[in-house]
């Protein structure tokens, strides 16, 4: 398996296999390791179609939306929600019990 076959394999992973970018990167690293450490050959300039990393946009509440959620809670639940919002705690940290 040479450079052309490696490029075809990595392209196949991205296009037909629809693997994530990290999976394709791991396969590329494994191939480079095989050639460098086991076969003692240098593999330079692999030109394969790369898998795309998904664009994720975080979902965030506006200040008014957060206030509206807090106002709809009562008692201890409102206290926990205020602590979560005000201190940046995670949900699991606000609900931790002994």
Q: Distance between CA 64 and CA 33 in Å, rounded?
A: 53
pLDDT at 75: 93
Q: Where in the chain is the domain with CATH 1.10.150.130?
A: 1-52
Angle at 98 between CA 91 and CA 84, to 5 degrees: 20
Tens digits of residue pLDDT in 41-97: 887 777 777 777 777 777 888 999 999 999 999 999 999 999 988 998 888 888 876
Per DSSP, helices labelled H in the chain are: 3-15, 21-33, 63-71, 75-87, 91-94
Q: Which CATH architecture has domain 1-52?
A: Orthogonal Bundle (1.10)
pLDDT at position 79 is: 92
Q: What is the pTM of this model?
A: 0.49
């Amino acid at each position: 398996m040479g450079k052309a076959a490696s490029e075809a394999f990595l392209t196949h992973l991205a296009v037909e296999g629809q693997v994530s970018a990290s999976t394709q990167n791991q396969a590329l690293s494994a191939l480079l390791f095989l050639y460098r450490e086991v076969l003692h050959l240098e593999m330079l300039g692999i030109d394969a179609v790369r898998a795309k990393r998904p664009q994720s946009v975080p979902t965030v509440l506006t200040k008014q939306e957060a206030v509206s959620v807090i106002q709809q809670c009562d008692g201890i639940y409102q206290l926990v929600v205020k602590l979560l919002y005000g201190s940046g705690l995670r949900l699991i940290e606000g609900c931790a019990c002994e």
